[in-house]
Structure 1
Amino acid sequence: MGFIIDSHIHTDYSPDCKAKMEDIVIKAVELGLKQIIFTDHVDYDSPDELFMKEIDYSEYMKEIKYLRDKYKEIEILMGVEIGYQPHLNKKLDKFIKSYPFDFVICSMHSCEGLDLYNGDFFKGKTQRQSYMRYFESIKYCIETYDNYDVYGHLDYIVRYGNFDNKKLKYEDFKEIIDEILDLIIKKGKGIEVNTAGFRYNLKTTHPNTDIVKRYIEMGGNVITIGSDAHKPDDLCADFDQAIKILKAIGVKKIAQFKNRIPSFIEI
């Protein structure tokens, strides 16, 4: 485990997290990690008031420098998870170019201006309509926006919605998912395998195994693993399960980023 970086970690700079940055570093050292990368939320114009507070990146970078000086045994990198919405392209691009990020995750936490978490997006829609509109929005994102490295938790929508069975079958959305994966690959981007699905009792990663397998079949080769940790104990959570799944579908190497450039490690 010690050689694998957890590529999706939040701290109390994210408004939905209370974990201190230093506590995460201490846990990473305990786990024997050689690198750690923070990917706190930047969700401009979120429909959730909680995310309206913006990170002070001058303070953020000061704390990272302090931790780098204190914990020489681990390399501490700075990433970000951006919450995509179609009207934010220029603002997001300007923001990302303003700071020395090592890694950028592009995610969708709201869709058509409506919150997924609180259920607003699902009102008046069937499950299939909800999932289809969500994937159509992701496709538009990938068609029109390029300043990111991997697309985060591609089937994130399955966490939410008041449905009896939240399972998403690749075959039910094959055409739109293939279009998304094809665009990701053609644009030289990667996907994240996010292990938080296990903590949400979904018994799978985000995206699920069939989608990851299809990405590989179509020629994709940039996969990161992230826990989406919001507390120290979730750092690298369920990585053993994720790696077992990836090996079973033929994945041999995992990507990790520094200076926005991927390197690959065998699993």
Structure 2
Amino acid sequence: MNAQEIMTDYHMHSTFSVDGQDSIEALCWRALALGLTEIAVTEHAEWHGRWHGGPFDATAYFAELNRLKDEFAPRGLTLLSGVELGNPHEFARPAAALLAAHPFDVRIASLHWLHGENIHDASCFAGRDPQDVYADYFSALGHMAADFSSIDVVAHFDRILWRGTMLGAPLQPRRLEGVIRDALATIAWRGLALELNTRFLNHTPGWRPALTTMLRWYGEEGGARVVVNSDAHRVSQMGANLEIARAVLDEAGLEPATLQPATAFA
């Protein structure tokens, strides 16, 4: 299988998210141009006190998305509704209420916050041994997968490596193999899909060897479902780095998966 055969993308953001740059319609046209057959537009839902984006307008979002479903289905594109839940295990009550109120097709869980700090910020590592931060992150990732039931995908499980690598503190996966394997085994046991996020796959300095090692461990722990997603916040980010994603999966001995409603959305 080559990169052109990765024909789905279940993680992207439109202008209904505070950091999205393009409309749902623009994302759909770009998906068609890339030859994608199924996408989910997954808007941010966050409850952490330091999140400044506020809630997204789910009612308006569904009205627009349902209109576009009908427009793009005859063109060969399946458009799914979706939401990216930030730390849903720590905000279980409002997260569950949101999911009960709206019939999202794809429910993504992301660990955006660790010990009150955003994992994208250098402050997450301040004054600590970076390997201890990584250990806490993967432990929390496992708890998120275990403790909040209404999810389909664990997103960008390697995202904290982006910040740590830029700080000159790359992950030492063998040192933390136990805690990382525990998290990946939990994701596999739950039957969740693990996301291979393409957004920073070409970043320099990179962490591809560590990522490949962890994906190989995921397979060894019984994980078989990896979805390749862009996490696009603008149309130009869609379809990026698919050749690298394909190579990483090959190295890890895995195949890209799709989300089937009969199994993924139960």
In the superposition, the TM-score normalised over structure 1's length comes to 0.88
1:261 to 257, 260, 263: 263
Aligned position for 2:69: 68
Unpaired segments ≥5 residues, structure 1: none
Residue 167 of structure 1: how far off its partner (Å): 2.6
Residues 24-77 of structure 1 show CA distances to partners (whole Å, capped at 9, x for unaligned) of 11111111222221112111125232x3x1111110011112212322311111
Q: Does structure 1 conserve the Cα–Cα contact (< 8 Å) formed by 2:142 and 2:187?
A: no
1:151 to 151, 154, 165: 154
Where do residues 24-173 of structure 1 align in structure 2 (5 Å cutoff)?
24-49=27-52, 51=53, 53-71=54-72, 72-73=74-75, 74-84=77-87, 86-161=89-164, 164-173=167-176
Residue 201 of structure 1: how far off its partner (Å): 3.1
Counterpart Cα distance in 2 of 1:3 and 1:109: 26
Aligned position for 2:15: 12
Counterpart Cα distance in 1 of 2:262 and 2:82: 9
Counterpart Cα distance in 2 of 1:46 and 1:201: 32
Aligned position for 1:217: 220
Counterpart Cα distance in 2 of 1:230 and 1:122: 25
1:194 to 194, 197, 203: 197
Of stretches 33-42 and 156-165 in structure 1, the one that deviates more from structure 2 is 156-165
Residue 90 of structure 1: how far off its partner (Å): 2.1
Unpaired segments ≥5 residues, structure 2: none
Give 3-state SS (helix, strand or coil) of 2:248's partner. helix
Aligned length: 260
Q: Does structure 1 conserve the Cα–Cα contact (< 8 Å) formed by 2:131 and 2:172?
A: no
The structure-2 alpha-carbon separation of the partners of 1:261 and 1:210, relative to structure 1 and needing over 3 Å to count, comes to: same
Of stretches 254-263 and 27-36 in structure 1, the one that deviates more from structure 2 is 254-263
Counterpart Cα distance in 2 of 1:201 and 1:109: 22
Give 3-state SS (helix, strand or coil) of 1:193's partner. strand
Identity of aligned residues (%): 24
In the superposition, the TM-score normalised over structure 2's length comes to 0.88
Q: Does structure 2 conserve the Cα–Cα contact (< 8 Å) formed by 1:8 and 1:226?
A: yes
Counterpart Cα distance in 2 of 1:97 and 1:261: 19
Q: Does structure 1 conserve the Cα–Cα contact (< 8 Å) formed by 2:42 and 2:83?
A: yes
Give 3-state SS (helix, strand or coil) of 1:257's partner. coil
Let me know the Cα RMSD of the aligned residues: 2.3
Residue 86 of structure 1: how far off its partner (Å): 4.3
Residue 182 of structure 1: how far off its partner (Å): 1.5
Residue 125 of structure 1: how far off its partner (Å): 1.4
Where do residues 224-243 of structure 1 align in structure 2 (5 Å cutoff)?
224-243=227-246
